[in-house]
């Protein structure tokens, strides 16, 4: 959904099921400074390697190539938006895979 809240603000609500994010554009603002109160946003994706390749093909910047987290099995990557904000991508199939694998092994051994 896209809402023109006034002649100064446009909001877009993106979501699926109960997860929604609001993106706003403030008309007439020339430049924002990157603040220190914001770290990054993380998004789960089905195929992190294809997602990063598509981002690169469209001129985007991948600042950490897809790969497992240090001391873990969750596969992540970081991309950067045009304003320099970091966006973490998480391979959904690997998120918490160590816990899932241990649970499955316990069921099999019983």
Catalytic sites, residue numbers:
88
For residue 77, the SS3 value is strand
Strands 9-16 and 19-26 come out as antiparallel
The H or E element that residue 52 is part of is helix 48-57
Residue that is written with structure tokens 């966006």 in the block: 87
User: Rounded to 5 degrees, what are φ and ψ at 81?
Assistant: -80, 170
Token pair listed for 39: 């770290």
């Amino acid at each position: 959904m896209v809402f023109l809240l006034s002649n100064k603000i446009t909001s877009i609500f993106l979501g699926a099921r109960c997860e929604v994010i609001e993106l706003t554009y403030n008309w007439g603002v020339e430049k924002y400074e990157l603040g220190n109160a914001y770290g990054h946003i993380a998004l789960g994706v089905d195929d992190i390697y294809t997602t990063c390749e598509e981002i690169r093909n469209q001129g985007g910047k991948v600042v950490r190539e897809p790969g497992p987290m240090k001391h873990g099995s969750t596969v992540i990557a970081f991309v950067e938006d045009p304003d320099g904000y970091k966006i973490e991508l998480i391979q959904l199939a690997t998120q918490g895979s160590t816990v899932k694998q241990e649970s499955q092994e316990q069921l099999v051994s019983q």
